[in-house]
């Protein structure tokens, strides 16, 4: 790209200055709106709080609830020469320390919802040491400092630099695009959800961020006048890219801090939302909510996305029936790759079991265990090359080398780094990609390969099942399944086992079945499998 993400956003501030950029929906039914001009001014105030001596290897951390101040802090960070990371406001103070250590955090911006969480660090000497070199900025939402925040700041000031700021009192500062940008340096660090292991900091370079925006904006047909509903955290790549895309294309972004189906439907109607990016659990809640208002949003929404996972066939078709006039996109990717595949709306009805074709700027290969291309329709590991490829994991060269490496000789250019996703897939005769599970979840039962996703797929075919998960105890050779049933369902373990007995071979049959009304979630709304399995023991 000939222009950086910062230049593109700055151009939007000039082109759409009087347009509404952000609307923050509040729980009392009121809202706060900012124009592009006002957002730039607010971001300038945040930028003025940064240290002048920040370097390209020091990170800015944003530990905040989604708000206009959070967005302004992201914009200010983009204008800086340092990388930044958004830390989900739901994570613990100890996890913040882990991220601070891994990412060489220099500044940590908090708000009222997160500053109190840091109090837990005052009792731990190791945590004190981690944050001793971090400057904490508390952005409060009122002029006065309430006693509880004042006391917290006093406690934290014993071992780190901390100050409380009311942005309305900060002098204006005119943001300027940096004269030069280091192309091959990390601009954004996104920490993985940890669903397949410990969270890792994924480094993404600045020019790749603009490539991602252009790819996604083109697919969704984003343009000035679109209104996008933001319900996903900015620490999740889908929510993050939605923000970038909205700003660059002159859209209006509505921030909604609620996952309740009724609140989401109400926001779509109130603000005339044209696009929503959501994870499967969100759409499953919509499908099972039985809301009369869904008929109304079908005439307002232009598109939605199913991102960060997939839904059972019955639920995908139910979503289509609920929103017959809405374009439905499915996306596939990882934090390390952003978007690998996308099922375009025009292919959804015919190919809804697929995750689509490679997005523009990406090539996918399917390789066997020996590094050879597999035949059409055969299963192998999905290899991602092209835009979205991470720079690596921050501070973890060993993990980087396992994930990011060269293709086998004869399959690609010399020194071209690609992502070995660990996902298993196949490509059909029309070039559409299908997922079959993860390599690291596969286990063997009596010599037979078992992919948990196969068991979970059959479970979700049951009409009374919303979601499912599974685990395997190698020592006892026992499979356990976890089932989220529909509200008021009388579903029993016996009924589940009987249902599966007609659909699975004997070696794949679970020994235990646990029923739930809902599952624990990660910050991005995915099933928190480690927590779920520990609860089931």
Which tens digit of pLDDT belongs to each residue from 351-395? 999 999 999 999 999 999 999 999 999 999 999 999 999 999 998
∠ CA 217-181-139, rounded to 5°: 75
Token pair in block for residue 34: 């900012």
pLDDT in tens, 208-219: 999 999 999 999
pLDDT surpasses 60 at 194: no
pLDDT in tens, 47-72: 999 988 888 889 999 999 999 999 99
pLDDT value for 464 = 94
pLDDT value for 264 = 94
For the ranges 289-298, 380-389, 444-453, 472-481, the one whose mean pLDDT is highest: 380-389
pLDDT value for 181 = 56
Strands 303-306 and 512-516: unpaired
pLDDT in tens, 311-349: 999 999 999 999 999 999 999 999 999 899 999 999 999
pLDDT surpasses 50 at 171: yes
pLDDT value for 536 = 62
Q: How confident is the model at residue 198 (pLDDT cuts 50, 70, 90)?
A: low
pLDDT in tens, 503-526: 999 999 999 999 999 898 887 788
pLDDT value for 30 = 82
pLDDT surpasses 80 at 437: yes
pLDDT surpasses 70 at 204: yes
Strands 20-25 and 252-255: parallel
Of 74-88, 94-108, 115-129, 432-446, where does mean pLDDT reach its minimum?
115-129
- The rounded radius of gyration (Å) of the Cα atoms in the chain is 24
Where in 94-160 does DSSP place strands (E)?
105-110, 135-140
User: What does the pLDDT average to over 212-231?
Assistant: 95
- Tell me whether residue 310 is exposed, middle or buried, using C-beta atoms within 10 angstroms of its C-beta: 0 to 12, 13 to 18, 19 or more: buried
pLDDT value for 196 = 46
pLDDT value for 525 = 81
pLDDT value for 2 = 42
pLDDT value for 323 = 94
Q: In whole angstroms, what is the distance from residue 71 CA to residue 66 CA?
A: 7
Strands 392-393 and 417-427: unpaired
Q: Would you say the C-alpha torsion 346, 347, 348, 349 has a positive or negative sign? A: positive
* Residue tagged 């997160």 (tokens): 114
Residue 134's alpha-carbon distances to 73, 100, 117, 203, in angstroms, are 17, 8, 16, 20
> Is the CB of residue 205 less than 8 Å from the CB of residue 394?
no
**Mean of per-residue pLDDT scores for the chain:** 91
For the ranges 43-47, 127-131, 139-143, the one whose mean pLDDT is highest: 43-47
Q: How confident is the model at residue 537 (pLDDT cuts 50, 70, 90)?
A: low
Percentage of the chain surpassing pLDDT 70? Answer: 97
> Is the CB of residue 139 less than 8 Å from the CB of residue 163?
no
pLDDT in tens, 398-413: 999 999 999 888 787 7
Q: In whole angstroms, what is the distance from residue 450 CA to residue 411 CA?
A: 29
């Amino acid at each position: 790209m000939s222009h950086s993400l910062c230049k593109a956003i700055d151009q939007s501030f000039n082109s759409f200055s009087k347009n509404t950029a952000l609307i923050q929906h509040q729980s009392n039914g009121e809202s706060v709106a900012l124009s592009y001009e006002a957002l730039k001014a607010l971001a300038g105030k945040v930028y003025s709080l940064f240290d002048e001596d920040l370097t390209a290897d020091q990170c800015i951390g944003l530990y905040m609830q989604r708000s206009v101040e959070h967005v302004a802090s992201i914009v200010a960070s983009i204008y800086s020469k340092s990388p930044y990371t958004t830390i989900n406001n739901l994570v613990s103070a100890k996890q913040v320390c882990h991220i601070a250590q891994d990412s060489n955090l220099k500044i940590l911006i908090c708000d009222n919802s997160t500053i109190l969480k840091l109090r837990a660090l005052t009792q731990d000497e190791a945590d004190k040491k981690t944050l001793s070199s971090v400057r904490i900025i508390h952005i409060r939402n009122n002029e006065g400092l309430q006693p509880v925040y004042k006391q917290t700041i006093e406690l934290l000031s014993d071992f780190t630099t901390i100050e409380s700021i009311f942005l309305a009192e900060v002098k204006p500062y005119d943001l300027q695009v940096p004269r030069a940008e280091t192309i091959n340096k990390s601009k954004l660090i996104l920490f993985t959800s940890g669903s397949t292991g410990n969270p890792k900091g994924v480094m993404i370079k600045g020019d790749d961020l603009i490539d991602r925006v252009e790819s996604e904006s083109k697919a969704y047909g984003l343009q000035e006048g679109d209104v996008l509903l933001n319900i996903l955290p900015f620490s999740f790549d889908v929510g993050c890219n939605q923000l970038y895309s909205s700003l660059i294309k002159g859209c209006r972004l509505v921030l909604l801090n609620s996952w309740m189906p009724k609140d989401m439907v109400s926001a779509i109607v109130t603000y005339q939302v044209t696009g929503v990016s959501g994870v499967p659990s969100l759409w499953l809640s919509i499908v099972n909510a039985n809301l009369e208002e869904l008929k109304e949003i079908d005439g307002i929404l232009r598109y939605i996305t199913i991102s960060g996972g997939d839904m059972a066939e019955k639920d995908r078709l139910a979503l289509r029936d609920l929103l017959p006039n809405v374009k439905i996109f499915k996306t596939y990717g990882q934090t390390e790759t952003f978007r690998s595949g996308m099922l375009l709306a025009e292919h959804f009805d015919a190919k809804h079991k697929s995750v689509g074709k490679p997005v523009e700027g990406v090539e996918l290969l399917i390789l066997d265990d020996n590094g050879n291309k597999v035949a059409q329709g055969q299963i192998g590991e999905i290899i991602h090359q092209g835009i979205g490829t991470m720079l690596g994991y921050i501070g973890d060269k060993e993990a980087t080398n396992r994930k990011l490496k060269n293709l086998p000789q004869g399959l690609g250019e010399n020194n071209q780094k690609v992502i070995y996703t660990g996902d298993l897939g196949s490509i059909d005769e029309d070039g559409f990609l299908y997922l079959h599970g993860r390599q690291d979840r596969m286990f063997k039962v009596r010599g037979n390969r078992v992919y948990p996703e196969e068991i979970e797929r059959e479970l979700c075919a049951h009409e009374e099942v919303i979601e499912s998960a599974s685990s395997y105890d190698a020592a006892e050779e026992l499979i356990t399944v976890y089932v989220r049933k529909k509200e008021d369902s009388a579903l029993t373990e016996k009924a589940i086992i009987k249902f599966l007995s007609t659909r699975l071979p004997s070696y794949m049959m679970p020994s235990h079945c646990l029923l739930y009304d809902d599952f624990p979630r990660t910050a991005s709304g995915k099933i928190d499998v480690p927590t779920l399995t520990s609860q089931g023991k």
